[in-house]
Amino acid sequence: MIPSTVRDRLKTALNITGLRVYDTIPDGLVPPAAVIGQLSIDFDLTLVKGVESGTVDIMVIAGRMSERAAQDYLDNLLQSTGASSVKTKVESDQTLGGATSSVRVVRAEPISISVSGVDMLAYRFQVEVWG
């Protein structure tokens, strides 16, 4: 499993209208945006090389904390199905174009992120990958 390839394929999978997606951590961004974090990897799960699992966080930043539109936008992304569902988009190709053997969104957690000194409403999606 090559981390940069996994991040790149996740970026491609998150083709949600209006969402800017970064597969590396940017210096700055304009919401709505998704930032794909670094992978945590567990090696040699079956005591032989080649079987790995990992997790990666996708932070989706919608807008200022006080904006109702930001919450409404996040609500659409949080659905478990549909054209704007992060879970549906990520899991639509279980191999991420051959980068993994399996991918699954397991959790979504509300967070706030400061962007240029402004607190933004966001969610952290935790993704499990197997390679």
**Closest C-alpha among 100, 79, 99 to residue 88:** 79
What gap in Å lies between CA 110 and CA 55, rounded to an integer? Answer: 18
C-alpha dist (Å) from residue 121 to 47, 63, 67, 103: 42, 6, 9, 26
Predicted local distance difference test score (pLDDT) of residue 28: 86
Residues 23-46 have pLDDT tens digits of 998 988 999 999 999 999 888 766
Identity of residue 45: L
Residue 64, pLDDT score: 82
Q: And the tokens for 87? A: 């879970």
Q: Give residue-wise pLDDT tens across range 87-109.
A: 999 999 999 999 999 999 999 99
- Per-residue pLDDT of 10-25, as tens digits, reads 999 999 999 999 999 8
Please state whether the predicted TM-score (pTM) of the whole model is above 0.85: yes
39: how many CB neighbours lie within 10 A of its CB? 20
Q: Tell me the C-alpha distance between 120 and 122, whole Å.
A: 6
Question: How does residue 115 score in pLDDT terms, banded at 50, 70 and 90?
Answer: confident
Residue 59 has φ and ψ, to the nearest 5°, of -95, 125
